């Protein structure tokens, strides 16, 4: 199983959260990749890049995205069929983004969002989670989720354990 990370708008492919979660994925026996989108500010061009990378995949994969990367992972999951999708403070229902409605092909979606996120309102994840009937964890903290990284790591580890059992 491969875990493919998509970073946020202003971070990079091997930022703080991705490094921490990639370590957990490797401990669970997964291969890991993180796509570099630093040259692209347009979220829909990032989706195209992710889809191009996924064309090479022959095995099952899990998409993980943070902020704009959450949007990228979710939109890609409407075209390809990931084993699962894990989103952190996903940039959903953002004015100017092409997709405003989401219908993932994955039946296993988990979201972590912070109550005090001042970049992407937690209400956006609540709205999507309700529509998709997926798991949503609302945690104390801000958009970066760095202050609650241990909680995010635990949630990701549990998520992976469940997905890898199936």
CATH number of the domain that 133 lies in?
Answer: 3.40.50.1820
Tell me the pairing of strands 109-114 and 61-66.
unpaired
Closest listed residue to residue 23, CA positions, set 35, 50, 5: 5
Q: What is the pLDDT of residues 98-120, one digit of tens each?
A: 999 999 999 999 999 999 999 99
- Burial of 148 by CB count in 10 Å (0-12 exposed, 13-18 middle, 19+ buried)? middle
Looking at every residue in the chain, the average pLDDT score rounds to 97
Pull the structure tokens for residue 61.
């994969």
How many folded domains does the chain comprise? 1
Structural domain that includes position 35: 2-165
- H-only helix segments in the chain: 16-27, 43-54, 68-76, 122-132, 149-165
Pull the structure tokens for residue 46.
């990032």
Q: What is the pLDDT of residues 15-57, one digit of tens each?
A: 999 999 999 999 999 999 999 999 999 999 999 999 999 999 9
């Amino acid at each position: 199983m491969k875990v493919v990370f998509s970073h946020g708008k202003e971070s990079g492919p091997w930022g703080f959260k991705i490094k921490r979660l990639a370590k957990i994925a490797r401990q669970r026996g997964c291969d890991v990749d993180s796509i570099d989108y630093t040259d692209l500010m347009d979220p829909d061009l990032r989706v195209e890049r992710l889809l191009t990378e996924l064309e090479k995949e022959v095995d099952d994969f899990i998409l993980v995205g943070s902020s704009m990367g959450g949007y990228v992972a979710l939109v890609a999951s409407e075209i390809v069929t990931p084993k699962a999708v894990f989103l952190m403070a996903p940039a959903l229902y953002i004015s100017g983004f092409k997709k405003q409605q989401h219908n993932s092909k994955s039946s296993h979606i988990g979201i972590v969002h912070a109550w005090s996120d001042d970049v992407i309102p937690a209400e956006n994840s609540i709205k999507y989670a309700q529509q998709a009937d997926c798991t949503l964890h609302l945690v104390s903290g801000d958009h970066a989720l760095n202050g609650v990284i241990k909680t995010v790591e635990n949630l990701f580890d549990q998520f992976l354990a469940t997905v890898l059992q199936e």
